[in-house]
Amino acid sequence: MSIPSEFIREVKEQNHIIDVVGGYVNLKRSGRTAKGLCPFHSEKSPSFTVFEDTDSFYCFGCQTGGDVIGFIRKIENLDYVEAVRFLANRAGMTMQEDGRGDDLSRMRLRIREQNREAARFFHQALYAPSGKDALDYFHSRGLTDATIRHFGLGWSPDGWDALAAHLRGKGYKPDEMIAADLGFISRQGNVIDRFRNRVMFPIIDLQGSVIAFGGRVFTENAKGGKYVNTGDTLIYKKTNHLFAMNFAKSQKTDELILCEGYMDVIALHQAGFPNAVAALGTAVTRQQAHLMKKYVSRVVLSQDGDEAGQRSIARSIPIMKDEGLDVRVLRITGAKDPDEFIRKHGSERFRRLVDNCANDIEYSLARIEGQYDLATDDGKLHFLREACEFLSGLSVLEREVYASRLADKLKTDKSALLSQIDAVSRRRSYQEKRKEFREMAQVSAGIGDRVNPQRSTHLRAAAAEDALLEMLFHHQDLIPKAAKLLPPQAMVTEFSRRVYGQFITLSQSGQEITITDLQQEFSDNETAEIVRVVNGQNVRGIEDFSMLITRIKEEGTRTRPIDAAKLSSEELRAQIDRMRKKKS
């Protein structure tokens, strides 16, 4: 559908980009910009920047950028129209529909309806005679029929197209089944089931809609991997959701128990812990941490005790702390997971474990300590060095408290520990600044630039073009003058030529140029590059305008062959004079 530009501008005015992005990213303001850890890729030092002056964002780490609409599109996995509608609803605005319908919205609705029908089918199959082995498996894991019904658990029959045939009978088409990732095309060209002979776990969103499935083998000789899960679809992205959050969000508690798998969560709910949830992957994502922060302030991490589970904890802690969550770590002994522990020792003992679990700092220090023999001087020294490295990433107050504990425990001078921690902190800060500088330098030098590949071979020209485009974006009254002095074809790199041409076109229409206007004509990656260029923070004085025009023209003559037949006698004479001067 077509959305009036006036409505889009009003939506943006009512949704300040720092406020919107700040709902997903922990931002630290510095003047007219704000920085934080990028929500679109994993990083330890912040590369993600929001520019208030241009209503845009850019990450120097993954080169993602755009305006507030582009941010919502990516973070919420929406198309453009849905992102505008999302922001309009956020601002209490009514978005007028044109009555023509929206193909993507219609497909999303069909996927939701299909998933609901598939969940019914799997649940009914579980209680059919053919599903007896699957039902016995759930019962053997201690689940009651009431719990099975509560979670809508099921079984996918051991056939090629049992669900596909059922959905066809309900009027669903092959492309809709594939869009829902409930089936795929076989070599013979038929739709066959994604899930076959597995116990099924519906994944339900906060509104109560089935959006995806997890399928687990339940026999020793089963074919395929242990789990088969729904891939990303139009309504589901695993990084954005938590299993059982639809139940946990309504509990009157300020704490969530974050488990590793479906069965742990279900066992905890049955044992009286309805605040248990699970990440739909190996480690917590920033989107999942943000979702948890909406409902609670504390999260207890309950992962398996194996090395994979401990690595998952180590990756998850900084992500959740950056979101402002109080993180605790549950240490289970005598059982491999919460499900087994509760079956062995009961729910009351598990409650005591939860109430007395260590905070994330205590857990991390204990994990480091476990790698060394503190009875030896060598082991003690290695432990203290690694502990100081860890503590250097904490606040000054936290350093003081835990340095005191270590000093008392190991009979070490506290001031020496704090001095070592400060030295490590300074080194880390220096390394982070160098990393940030390298990232920005690589982007500026065009290393690996797929949007403007000519940059790396025409650095001087590209730098001048960037500076001019940045100046024109911030001083749009100069665009008509620039158009007279420098036609678009005079730009050296093709990408700058296109952007400059669009500047001129929009300026001639009499409207102010914004990132939103430009992204209508450029791809997401190209828009990100435009955001980087116009937010270069090297805006030159207007007095440099003529110099930049001249430099681009000069660079153009160096990089493009000259057609002497098209030059006037004066231009030809001037070109010969320039060549003579260079030669001399």
Q: What is the CATH number of the domain that holds 17?
A: 3.90.580.10
Q: Is residue 347 part of a domain?
A: yes
CATH, residue 308: 3.40.1360.10
Q: Is residue 444 part of a domain?
A: no
Amino acid in the structure at residue 472: L
Q: Contact, 116 vs 109, CB < 8 A?
A: no
Q: What is the pLDDT of residue 244?
A: 97
Q: What is the pLDDT of residue 452?
A: 79
Helix 494-508 vs helix 459-474: crossing angle, to nearest 10: 20
Amino acid in the structure at residue 142: G
461 and 578 belong to one structural domain: yes
Q: Is residue 440 part of a domain?
A: no
Q: Is residue 206 part of a domain?
A: yes
CATH, residue 513: 1.10.860
231 and 106 belong to one structural domain: yes
Task: Count CB neighbours of 347 within 10 A.
Answer: 15
Q: Is residue 436 part of a domain?
A: no
For residue 116, which of 186, 173, 185, 163 has the smallest C-alpha distance?
163
310 and 358 belong to one structural domain: yes
Contacts of 559 (CB under 8 A, 6+ apart): 458, 461, 492
Give this prediction's pTM.
0.70
48 and 139 belong to one structural domain: no
What residues pair up with 29 in beta bridges, in sequence order?
34
For residue 153, which of 301, 269, 231, 250 has the smallest C-alpha distance?
269
Q: Is residue 447 part of a domain?
A: no
**Which of 236, 271, 286 lies at the terminal end of a domain, its last residue?**
236
Terminal-residue alpha carbon distance, the chain = 63
Please classify residue 101 by burial: count the beta carbons closer than 10 Å to its beta carbon, then call 0-12 exposed, 13-18 middle and 19+ buried: exposed
471 and 576 belong to one structural domain: yes
Q: What is the pLDDT of residue 44?
A: 77
Domain that includes residue 572, residue range: 453-583
350 and 398 belong to one structural domain: no
Q: What is the pLDDT of residue 564?
A: 45
137 and 186 belong to one structural domain: yes
- The residues of the chain scoring below 50 in pLDDT are 99-101, 561-565, 567, 579-584
Q: Is residue 69 part of a domain?
A: yes
215 and 307 belong to one structural domain: no
Task: Count CB neighbours of 478 within 10 A.
Answer: 15
Amino acid in the structure at residue 418: L
224 and 106 belong to one structural domain: yes
301 and 266 belong to one structural domain: yes
77 and 168 belong to one structural domain: no
Number of domains in the chain: 5
Please classify residue 167 by burial: count the beta carbons closer than 10 Å to its beta carbon, then call 0-12 exposed, 13-18 middle and 19+ buried: buried
**Which of 220, 236, 252 lies at the terminal end of a domain, its last residue?**
236
Q: Contact, 332 vs 300, CB < 8 A?
A: no
Joined together, the tokens standing for residue 194 give 């994604």
Q: Contact, 57 vs 531, CB < 8 A?
A: yes
DSSP 379: H
Q: Is residue 359 part of a domain?
A: yes
196 and 318 belong to one structural domain: no
**Which of 368, 386, 401 lies at the terminal end of a domain, its last residue?**
368
CATH, residue 159: 3.90.980.10
Joined together, the tokens standing for residue 213 give 């499935």
